């Protein structure tokens, strides 16, 4: 069934479809990480916010001006309702954001240290993991020039994205699920990860992110992008390799910076922005988040 706007017309199709997860973030700021058997007191009250990589990316894409749909699940608890409201308030289409009956919503515990680094533990809710059927149903109903998916979703869900998307640009993010391995990268137009994720895939860390991007590109995606924190982001195609530097700022919290980068990048590509300019815009957007 097609949804309609109040005037009876069909809503415009999305420009970006994000497929993945949504969860609640409980964030604490701590002076240092606790030692075994010891307690560290937080330096401020805990905050509870909408989170999850795909939810963050969808909100970032919408904030960058793209009509955005999130395909994800949460539970029918108070937190699931909170996530749906946060998405709606951000202008994200929630027609394929399902609240699963009797399922709890996933929760991430985020520890932020004085150096602005974050340490995250995610308690997944297995009952809210996307299924292949849910992905197929959403992608059959939706069409957008850009689809962005988490590669650490259950393998059947990732396979469904690859087989049923109708996008001009398919973007993958994160270390692929172990059952998929790096072979899945060949199905992507763009692969985006951070330096730590690149090292996990390549089996070694490269101090120069352009080298990591080049090696990832060699695994099959048309474009590989490696985010490098305060240094910016590197991207590689078959013909071109470049590092886009980030402006120097005093970072307060790096949580969500990578998602802001990726959501902005997806929006710009959907808006037909050239790759180099899209990466530069994404770096600027991520930088604004860490100093906020």
Measured distance CA(167)–CA(148) in Å, rounded? 10
For helices 257-270 and 275-290, angle between their N-to-C axes, nearest 10 degrees: 150
Return the closest-CA partner of residue 143 out of 12, 273, 265, 22: 12
* Distance from C-alpha of 173 to C-alpha of 78, rounded to nearest angstrom: 29
The whole-angstrom separation of Cα 116 and Cα 214 is 28
Using CA atoms, how far apart are residues 148 and 269, in angstroms rounded to an integer?
A: 11
HSE (side-chain half, CA atoms, 13 Å) at 290: 25
Q: Which one is catalytic: 152, 253, 259, 281?
A: 259
25, 51 contact by CB (below 8 A): yes
Active site residue 208: no
Q: Which of 85-91's residues contact partners 24+ apart within 8 Å by CB, and which partners?
A: 86/49, 86/50, 86/55, 86/59, 87/22, 87/50, 87/55, 87/58, 87/59, 90/58, 90/59, 90/62, 90/63, 91/62, 91/63
Q: HSE on the CB side for 236, CA within 13 Å?
A: 19
Q: Which residues are catalytic?
A: 259
């Amino acid at each position: 069934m097609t949804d309609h706007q109040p005037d009876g017309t069909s809503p415009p199709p999305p420009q970006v479809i994000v497929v993945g997860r949504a969860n609640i973030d409980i964030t604490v700021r701590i002076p240092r990480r606790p030692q075994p058997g010891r307690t560290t007191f937080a330096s401020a009250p805990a905050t509870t916010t909408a989170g999850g990589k795909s939810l963050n990316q969808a909100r970032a894409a919408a904030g960058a001006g793209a009509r955005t749909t999130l395909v994800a699940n949460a539970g029918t608890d108070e937190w699931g309702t909170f996530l749906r409201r946060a998405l709606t308030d951000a202008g994200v289409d929630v027609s394929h954001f399902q609240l699963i009956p009797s399922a709890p919503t996933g929760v991430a515990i985020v520890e932020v240290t004085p150096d602005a680094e974050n340490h995250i533990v995610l308690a997944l809710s297995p009952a809210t993991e996307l299924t292949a059927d849910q992905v197929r149903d959403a992608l059959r109903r939706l069409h957008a020039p850009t689809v962005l998916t988490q590669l650490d979703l259950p393998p059947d869900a990732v396979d469904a994205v690859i087989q049923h998307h109708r996008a001009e640009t398919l973007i993958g993010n994160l270390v692929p699920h172990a059952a998929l391995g790096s072979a899945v990268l060949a199905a992507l137009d763009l692969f985006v990860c951070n330096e730590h994720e690149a090292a996990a895939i390549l089996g070694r860390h490269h101090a120069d992110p352009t080298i990591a991007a080049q090696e990832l590109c060699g695994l099959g995606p048309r474009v590989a992008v490696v985010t490098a924190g305060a240094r910016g982001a590197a991207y590689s195609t078959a013909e071109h390799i470049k590092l886009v530097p980030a402006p120097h700022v005093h970072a307060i919290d790096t949580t969500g910076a990578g998602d802001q980068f990726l959501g902005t990048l997806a929006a710009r590509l959907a808006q037909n922005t050239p790759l180099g300019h899209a990466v530069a815009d994404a770096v600027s957007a991520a930088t604004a988040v860490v100093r906020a």
